[in-house]
Structure 1
Amino acid sequence: MELGLQGKTAIVTGGGEGVGRAAAASMAREGANVLIVGRRANVLEAAAEAIPASGGGRVIVLAADITAPGAAGTIVEAALSAFGRLDILVNNAGASLAKPFEQASPEDWNTDFDLKLWAAMALIRAAIPPMRRQGGGRIINVTSIDGRAPRAGSMPTSVARAAGIAMTKVLSRDLAADNILVTTVCIGFIKSGQHERRYAREGVAPEAVEARYAEDARRRAVPLGRVGESAEAGDVIAFLASERASYLTGIAVNIDGGTCAVA
């Protein structure tokens, strides 16, 4: 299926690994130019080198803390300077910060909302004018199924993700007249660098990581019986960014192997 992404420009935050890297790779294969953003320059460079240019799309990197003052404007200007346009924004940056309510400190709440909500809002605000000038665009917010069906001990991340889902739905209505389509993907148990770093901290040997993923999928009662691959999420994001999804806005798509009962 031709997705109509040839020559389009995308920004992907948290683009150095996991779902962000997979989304960047999927869009680049379809011919989109992609700016991947993250805090670790070496991780971004490795991701850009690993993404094949088979579709003709270029991948460039920008090491930045998206929560820093003025970062949103700098990121959008970098994409416009490199590629001359901005069609797609994927707000993917974020890590799971999940604790029981009484263990979550005010600093935890501030840190989580700064990254997952306020920084995403700043990027959206900066992206709207160039999208509006060219007649439309796509904004895809990567959230979590915890924002739809929170687990015990999932604060503050479940609350931040619920806010991201609500923001998506409101923006889809506010921006519809500008042909700026806003959607969210609610991620379940997907392979990622943060899971693998946690396994390493817990002493799981590299050769045992796949077995641990399988064990965790069983523990989480994923109906499909396995952990999701980041590419499976990346391909859905690329579709939502594409011309084939031109009548989809305000939706929240679960990518979770059937885990979440809330559709």
Structure 2
Amino acid sequence: MNLHIEGRVALVTGGTQGIGKACAIKLAAEGAQVVIAARGKDLLDQVATEIRSTGGTVTAIQADVSKEADCERLISETIATYGRIDILVNNAGTSATGEFESITDEGWQADFDLKLFAAIRLSRLAIPHMKQHHWGRIINVTNIGAKQPAAKSMPTTVTRAAGLAMTKALSREFAPNNILVNSVCIGLIEAGQHERKAAKLGIAVEQLYDKLTADIPLGRVGRADEVANVVAFLASEAASYVSGSSINLDGGKSAVM
């Protein structure tokens, strides 16, 4: 299927690892001009080189999207480089969870800044440029805990739930401008954080995945490229009548749609 995003400009935050990297690679492979943003310069350079080696167009910008000034610089450098922004993938984030009584105000604020305020600021900055061309796609990467929070799952489930509310509200406000806003709610996806957890437990990551997939109907962990395929679809003309939606990418685990 031709997704018809050749020449579109796509910004992917958290674009050097896991889902973000997979999204950047997929969008570049489909012909988009991709901007990847992350805090670490070495990984940015590495991923940019990887994308260019396959013929993709990419610009790497070092930025901490939890900071307002970096969000402003990220959008301004994207516009200065490509003259427009068509696709925004708000992916940056970590899975911060713990017992409610142990989470400090600083912990709450850091999670809101990284996940919610980054998406708010980048969307607010990108939307005027999308409106100029009467075309835009915003995809917010959240997780299934936003819909079905478990015990000891905060602050992540709270900030992600706010992201879902923002997705729906933006989709309704900017539909007249042909700016489509959707969310993908991920479940268990292969990631470095699971490898680090397995190492801390002194077990192979496969053993950890076996344990974590016990309640997943498909019986396996998801891959980052499987998320990227859905993100690319939502960013494309193929999804031209999809807005305000939240797609679960969880192997059937979530009990809610």
> In the alignment, is the contact (CA less than 8 A) between 2:52 and 2:58 conserved in 1?
no
Q: CA deviation at 1:60?
A: 1.7
Q: Residues 92-131 of structure 1: matches in 2 within 5 Å? A: 92-131=91-130
Q: CA deviation at 1:233?
A: 0.3
Of 234-243 and 187-196, the range deviating more from structure 2: 187-196
Q: CA deviation at 1:130?
A: 0.7
What is the match of residue 231 of structure 1? 225
SS at match of 2:248: strand
Structure-2 separation of matches of 1:116 and 1:87: 21
What is the match of residue 28 of structure 1? 28
Query: Is there any run of 5+ residues in structure 2 with no aligned partner, and where?
Result: none
SS at match of 1:86: coil
Structure-2 separation of matches of 1:171 and 1:6: 25
Structure-2 separation of matches of 1:249 and 1:88: 14
User: With structure 2 as the length reference, what TM-score do the two structures score?
Assistant: 0.96
Query: Is there any run of 5+ residues in structure 1 with no aligned partner, and where?
Result: none
- Alignment partner of 1:209 is 2:208: no
Q: CA deviation at 1:59?
A: 1.7
Q: Which amino acid aligns with 1:223?
A: P
> In the alignment, is the contact (CA less than 8 A) between 1:29 and 1:52 conserved in 2?
no
Structure-1 separation of matches of 2:100 and 2:166: 23
Structure-2 separation of matches of 1:59 and 1:222: 36
Count of equivalent residues: 257
Q: CA deviation at 1:53?
A: 5.6
> In the alignment, is the contact (CA less than 8 A) between 1:169 and 1:251 conserved in 2?
yes
What is the match of residue 195 of structure 2? 196
Q: 1:246 is matched with which residue: 234, 240, 244? A: 240
SS at match of 2:81: helix
Deviation digits for residues 12-53 of structure 1 (CA, Å, limit 9, x no counterpart): 000001111111111111000111101111112222222366
Q: Considering only aligned residues, what root-mean-square deviation do their CA atoms show, in Å?
A: 1.3
> In the alignment, is the contact (CA less than 8 A) between 2:66 and 2:115 conserved in 1?
no
Deviation digits for residues 172-227 of structure 1 (CA, Å, limit 9, x no counterpart): 001111111000000100011222222233334xxx22332233222xx1111110
Q: Residues 81-160 of structure 1: matches in 2 within 5 Å? A: 81-160=80-159
Deviation digits for residues 211-250 of structure 1 (CA, Å, limit 9, x no counterpart): 32233222xx111111000000011001100010010000
